Amino acid sequence: MPELPEVETVAAALRRARVAGKKIRRVVVRCEKLRQPLVAAEMEKLAGRKVDAIRRRAKYLLLELDSGQVLLLHLGMTGTLRLDEQDTAPGRHDHLDLELDDGRILRFRDPRRFGLAVLRRPDENGRIAELAALAPEPLSDAFSGDYLHRISRGRKSPVKNFIMDQRRVVGVGNIYASESLFRAGIRPTLPAGKLSRPRCQRLVEAIRDILSAAIAAGGTTISDFHGVDGSEGAFVRALKVYGREGKPCPECGRPIRKTVLGGRSTFYCPGCQR
DNA sequence: AAATGAACCTGTTTGC
DNA sequence: TGCAAACAGGTTCATT
């Protein structure tokens, strides 16, 4: 569910809601079985800590604490963070509550439990194990046409799988991979190593454009994703191929096709994408 | 090493 | 109508 724009939307909302600077008054853990165990005894030590800053790296959300620790959150497929008013009853899949000193409750909900919530202390170089092998941010200068061209030489996997690999570039998931490739005019099945340098440049620009526009729209809500206030992401209306099998391509009118790559639904226009 | 597929979960939609 | 299968935005592990 949540790709980079959704996580950035959540991070921005938490900043706007002034969560940084608040103290955590109380912690409630209701379910310990996530991607990694959510250890209640450890999380409860967060009581009394202050949130210093909210950051995002790839699809991870980082709450930096005044203890020097970082609460690392990943929303998996169905994770959401909500800021509820005091005394709101928890839902069936609300696994973790952080009650702030102003009474609001930051709630991590995740029905499928592919998400992650762990406390980490960065090493002397400021590094966190889970983040160590991640590729450059797509909106940074490090992600360039030259970079993509260089790392894709000799690679035979479909370019869609390649750009969804978090060791190549982070933040691009199943929706934005299809949308970016449509924008770049590149067929998702094309082996990554066959992309020319100009086409790599075009793809990099397309990824940047799509992700930026999605962030500006507050992300994409298909069914699960919601902002911290429960609002829906408006980028769903801007999708040109994702979830549109059989419907006319907005550019050329030919029917959008669906195929499966790496076990994931993939949408493209057979006319516009070569 | 790189590519592929299955597994981890629950909820919702689809198809017979 | 009812039930089973298919499917869902991510990551990780095992197998070729």
Higher pLDDT, A217 or A224: A217
Q: Is the CB of A93 under 7 A from strand C?
A: no
Q: What is the pLDDT of residue A125?
A: 92
Q: In the predicted model, what is the mean pLDDT of residues A93-106? A: 96
For the domain A4-131, what is the CATH code? 3.20.190.10
Question: Of A37, A7, A45, which is closest to residue A117 (Cα–Cα)?
Answer: A37
pLDDT of residue A124 exceeding 70, the answer is yes
pLDDT tens track for A154-182: 999 999 999 999 999 999 999 999 999 99
Domains A4-131 and A145-268 are alike in CATH topology: no
Prediction pTM value: 0.97
pLDDT-based confidence at residue A62 (cuts at 50, 70, 90): very high
Could you state, in order of their start, the residue ranges of all structural domains in chain A? 4-131, 145-268
The per-residue pLDDT of chain A, averaged, comes to: 96
**Closest nucleotide to A235, Cα to C1':** C9
Q: In the predicted model, what is the mean pLDDT of residues A227-247? A: 94
pLDDT-based confidence at residue A87 (cuts at 50, 70, 90): confident
Q: Is the dihedral of CA A68, A133, A110, A37 positive or negative?
A: negative
Q: In the predicted model, what is the mean pLDDT of residues A138-152? A: 98
Q: Is the CB of A80 under 7 A from strand C?
A: no
pLDDT-based confidence at residue A267 (cuts at 50, 70, 90): very high
For the domain A145-268, what is the CATH code? 1.10.8.50
A267-CA/C3-C1' distance, Å:
30
**Closest nucleotide to A78, Cα to C1':** C9
Q: Is the CB of A235 under 7 A from strand C?
A: no
Q: Who's near A145: CB < 8 A, 6+ residues apart?
A: A197, A198, A200, A201, A202, A203, A204, A205
Q: In the predicted model, what is the mean pLDDT of residues A258-263? A: 96
pLDDT of residue A64 exceeding 90, the answer is yes
**Closest nucleotide to A157, Cα to C1':** B3
pLDDT of residue A1 exceeding 80, the answer is no
pLDDT of residue A226 exceeding 90, the answer is no
Q: Is the CB of A233 under 7 A from strand C?
A: yes
pLDDT of residue A31 exceeding 90, the answer is no
Q: In the predicted model, what is the mean pLDDT of residues A100-115? A: 96
Q: In the predicted model, what is the mean pLDDT of residues A69-97? A: 95
Q: Is the CB of A58 under 7 A from strand C?
A: yes
Instruction: Give the rounded percent of residues in chain A with a pLDDT score beyond 70.
Output: 100
A166-CA/C11-C1' distance, Å:
10
Strand A24-29 and strand A80-84: pairing?
A: unpaired
